[in-house]
Amino acid sequence: MVALSSYIYNLAIFMMTSSLPFTILFLLLSLTPILVTCQLFDDVPTGHRKDYIVFMGDKPKGYDEWAVSSLHVNIIREVVISDEPPTGHILRSYNRTFNGFVARLTEKEAERIAEKDGVISVFPNRINQLQTTNSWDFIGFPTNVPRSRLESDIIIGVLDTGIWPESASFDDTGFGPVPSKWRGTCRVTPDFRGCNRKFIGAKFYYTGPGQPVLTARDYEGHGSHTASTAAGNSVSGANLYSLGSGTARGAVPSARIAVYKVCWPDLGCSDADILAAFDDAIADGVDIISVSIGFNDNRNYFQDSIAIGSFRAARQNIVPSVSAGNDGPLLLTIRNFAPWLISVAASTTNRRFLTTVILGNNQRFEGWSINTFNSIQATLIFGGDAPNTAGENSLNANLVRRKIVVCDGYTSVREAQFGAVRTAFFAGAAGVIVNGVFQIYGDDVNNIVAPLPSSYVIDNNNAILAYIRSTSNPVAVIQKSSEQRNTFGPYLAAFSSRGPSPFTNSVLKPDLAAPGAEILAAYSQASSVSDVPGDTRVAPFNFVSGTSMACPHVSGAAAYLKSFYPNWSPAMIRSALMTTATPMNSNLNNEAEFAYGAGQINPTRALNPGLVYDAGAADYIRFLCGNGYSNTQVQVITGMRNACTSGGSSRELNYPAFVVYASPSQPFSCDFRRTVTNVGSATSTYTALVTAPQGLNILVSPNTLRFTSLGQTATFSVNVRGTISGGPRVVSASLVWDNGNSQVRSPIVVYVS
Ligand SMILES: *[C@@H]1O[C@H](CO)[C@@H](O)[C@H](O)[C@H]1NC(C)=O
């Protein structure tokens, strides 16, 4: 690579990754080649090496895995000066569909590698976190929906904590041979005897300093839960200690599951491993990639393994379905928001669990929790009367043992679950009553199973404490939870991350909502149902809440559509799911579309969307270029050089949603262009129906679209204009293309801030 382009190239990369002095140092080095000596680059002790991902784009044409991996060895040989052989520095090669590797390097070595011809980006490996019986029925997707013959050819790749092979959800009785397109493998280990015709592949990836048991077996439960929600068999009589009894099933019970274990107990999930799993899943021939993993921080698309991997998947017609994150309810908390993936938020269903508390004076409280324990009665004690002198927030075990502890002072269920509930359990209490958890959303449903009898009550008058003070022998009963109707559902769970997208805010994110609160699905029997140390209860099915649970609902729904329309692009599938989604109520979630996207998925309706908004790699590239990303940056995602021939504004991305940014009381006018493809009936005429609140004028032109054949496209423009006072607020409107049979609905969102 010639000096000049090398220098420009590196500047672009390092501007994003390193401090300014580092950039200046690099600039100096680039301008004064004579200084570039081995000493200078090897001045950091070897002990300071850490793991970097070196991304080099697509596998070069005509190269086999061996040839690709030898490129990597050559780079290390040229750059790294050490006693170890070059292969000792390479932790992993991406050699199946990508070209790249993970290596243990010093910062200087990483810097030098970034300088190499063909290297697109170098970034440190970081560790990411993992983020039912009635949920499918609730969203209008009963067991007897029409099924495609091709369903059993669909393969869903699940990047997660592995699988519990013995689960009834993954039994292969009645399954035909593995689809012939499958190119994957199954890693057998002493604790994992192999795959079957239901879960047809299993691999694991671990790059890092820890020493987990290397196996595809799920020791946590998360991966079995997500895989069974997407594609688990129908298992009747599923329940957790008789709670939530019903048939547990995935959207596509005949589809196959391919397991890519990238997350490890206590060690998280690393970029290096996520990218490796994408490389394999794409080469293995999966149709859908389901990723319920999120980052703790927002990164740009070029250092985000999920964004990079998803782009490549989408380009191969594989649908990337990803969880939005559990950092809600504030705006701008979304974690996975690249325009080429489906970003999924978590909603509630119409079910909730209530747990009754009865005091000795017969006062009753209907609290909430998932309490699987049979009714208990015990002496009540106020937590404040039993402090442990050893530390704050802890209880004196001698005083609380075998009693029901009453705790207050928590601001959210989640905080209480990790505070009061665990503390009481560890201190040997018989039960715990948490008073006054004031969620931002009132009684938010995001329970996890507790290790001891528990209930979260609202006792504004402190009647429980008054009762304790009124008698020498205060007692209470905590009953087992009972299943109730949640009449407000669906609304978005408070924990679900909200948009708008922090980088490209004119693309609506999240895209969709799906059930993610108190979902019952398959679980690992190596992990207790509460996941609290000391709880020994294990069960084949368990309740879990999170956007991690919402994501596989969309992965399953996408698989369902794919089984009918194998040639649809990921954007067409997303469009069908978005335009047919059930709109949700902004009175229950003020963030409106930034909370739930186009609404709650309705896979049955999505089967006949009428029109779809398609987009492909070229559109995303134009979008990135038009958003100020350089050729070099776009190359990281796309692997294509000089991709930016022309740019489009992000408003021009052919998305089935419209987002406008406005200032309070300032007039605005925004134009959009969109193209729809006819996938309904060959001859049909659609009329534009606009719903908009006061202050908003929306003009669609033309307002009639005529189609005479399938696959025909039509282009229209939308002008959104108006003046809105107050803010920050989210103002919702919509455009529906209606031909009498199909209503193709797109949200129009004005964000006033
Ligand atoms: C391709 O990469 C994998 C993963 O690092 C590695 O195990 C394999 O040996 C590589 N293939 C070749 C032919 O070097």
CATH number at residue 745: 2.60.40.2310
In this predicted model, what pLDDT tens digit does every residue of 447-461 receive, in sequence order? 678 999 999 998 888
CB atoms within 10 A of CB 390: 7
- pLDDT for res 728: 81
In this predicted model, what pLDDT tens digit does every residue of 727-743 receive, in sequence order? 788 999 999 999 999 99
- pLDDT for res 740: 95
209 vs 38, residue with greater confidence: 209
- pLDDT for res 57: 86
Given a cut of 80, whether residue 33 has pLDDT beyond it is no
Residue 141 lies in a domain: no
Q: How far is ligand 1, taken at its centre, from the CA of residue 207, in Å?
A: 14
645 and 725 part of one domain: no
Residue 454: CATH number of its domain: 3.50.30.30
CA angle, corner 426, sides to 424 and 427, nearest 5? 65
Q: Counting atoms of ligand 1 from 1, which one is nearest the CA of 91?
A: 5
In this predicted model, what pLDDT tens digit does every residue of 414-451 receive, in sequence order? 778 878 899 999 999 999 999 877 554 444 556 678 99
In this predicted model, what pLDDT tens digit does every residue of 525-543 receive, in sequence order? 999 999 888 999 999 999 9
Residue 578 lies in a domain: yes
- pLDDT for res 5: 28
Catalytic residue among 72, 222, 225, 553: 222
Alpha helices in 537-684 (DSSP H): 547-564, 570-579, 593-596, 603-606, 617-626, 631-638
Which amino acid belongs to residue 672? Answer: F
Q: Counting atoms of ligand 1 from 1, which one is nearest the CA of 93?
A: 5
Q: How far is ligand 1, taken at its centre, from the CA of residue 643, in Å?
A: 29
> Considering its fold, how many domains does the chain have in total?
5
- pLDDT for res 442: 45
Would you state the structure tokens that stand for residue 594, as one six-digit string?
């930034």
Residue 580 lies in a domain: yes
541 and 658 part of one domain: no
Residue 213 lies in a domain: yes
- pLDDT for res 634: 79
- pLDDT for res 121: 86
519 vs 138, residue with greater confidence: 519
Q: Counting atoms of ligand 1 from 1, which one is nearest the CA of 69?
A: 14
Highest-scoring range by mean pLDDT, 198-202, 302-306, 439-443 = 198-202
Active-site annotation holds for 408: no
Active-site annotation holds for 48: no
299 and 168 part of one domain: yes
Which amino acid belongs to residue 734? Answer: S
Given a cut of 90, whether residue 348 has pLDDT beyond it is no
Q: Kindly tell me the burial class for residue 185, based on how many C-beta atoms sit within 10 Å of its own C-beta (0-12, 13-18, 19 or more).
A: middle
Q: How far is ligand 1, taken at its centre, from the CA of residue 116, in Å?
A: 21
Question: Would the CB of 97 count as within 6 Å of ligand 1?
Answer: no
For residues 460-466, give the mean pLDDT. 92
27 vs 90, residue with greater confidence: 90
374 vs 24, residue with greater confidence: 374
- pLDDT for res 438: 58
Question: Would the CB of 93 count as within 6 Å of ligand 1?
Answer: yes
Could you tell me if 638 and 630 are in contact, meaning their C-beta atoms sit under 8 angstroms apart?
A: no
**Mean pLDDT lowest among 9-13, 164-168, 473-477:** 9-13
358 and 296 part of one domain: no
65 and 184 part of one domain: no
Question: Would the CB of 66 count as within 6 Å of ligand 1?
Answer: yes
Q: Counting atoms of ligand 1 from 1, which one is nearest the CA of 64?
A: 13
Given a cut of 90, whether residue 625 has pLDDT beyond it is no
The residue range of the domain holding 419 is 353-484
**Which H/E stretch holds residue 108?**
helix 107-114
Question: Would the CB of 65 count as within 6 Å of ligand 1?
Answer: yes
Residue of 64, 66, 68, 69 best suited for mutating to test ligand 1, as the one with most atoms within 8 Å of CB: 69
Q: Counting atoms of ligand 1 from 1, which one is nearest the CA of 101?
A: 5
166 vs 49, residue with greater confidence: 166
Q: How far is ligand 1, taken at its centre, from the CA of residue 290, in Å?
A: 24
Question: Would the CB of 92 count as within 6 Å of ligand 1?
Answer: yes
108 and 219 part of one domain: no
Mean pLDDT computed over every residue of the chain:
87
Q: Counting atoms of ligand 1 from 1, which one is nearest the CA of 276?
A: 4
- pLDDT for res 441: 46
Given a cut of 80, whether residue 520 has pLDDT beyond it is yes
454 vs 626, residue with greater confidence: 454
pTM above 0.85, yes or no: yes
Residue of 59, 63, 65, 284 best suited for mutating to test ligand 1, as the one with most atoms within 8 Å of CB: 65
pLDDT range class, residue 29, cuts 50, 70, 90: very low
Catalytic residue among 51, 160, 284, 614: 160
- pLDDT for res 8: 27
What percent of the chain is predicted at pLDDT more than 90?
A: 65
- pLDDT for res 393: 62
Residue 546 lies in a domain: yes
| Cα dihedral 361→365→367→370 (10° resolution) | 50
Given a cut of 80, whether residue 354 has pLDDT beyond it is yes
- pLDDT for res 649: 66
Given a cut of 50, whether residue 30 has pLDDT beyond it is no
C-alpha 216/C-alpha 259 separation (Å) is 7
SS3 (DSSP) at 106: coil
For residues 457-481, give the mean pLDDT. 94
479 and 496 part of one domain: no
304 and 193 part of one domain: yes
Residue 180 lies in a domain: yes
464 and 499 part of one domain: no
552 vs 395, residue with greater confidence: 552
Q: How far is ligand 1, taken at its centre, from the CA of residue 633, in Å?
A: 27
Active-site annotation holds for 614: no
User: How far are the Cα atoms of 190, 313, 519, 526, 641 from residue 34, in angstroms, in the given order?
Assistant: 55, 43, 63, 59, 30
For residues 688-693, give the mean pLDDT. 97
Given a cut of 60, whether residue 11 has pLDDT beyond it is no
Catalytic residue among 135, 290, 548, 742: 548
- pLDDT for res 458: 87
Q: Which of 336, 276, 275, 333 is nearest to 300 (CA)?
A: 336
- pLDDT for res 27: 32
In this predicted model, what pLDDT tens digit does every residue of 147-187 receive, in sequence order? 999 999 999 999 999 999 999 999 999 999 999 999 999 99
323 vs 139, residue with greater confidence: 323
Question: Would the CB of 207 count as within 6 Å of ligand 1?
Answer: no
Residue 718 lies in a domain: yes
Residue 135 lies in a domain: no
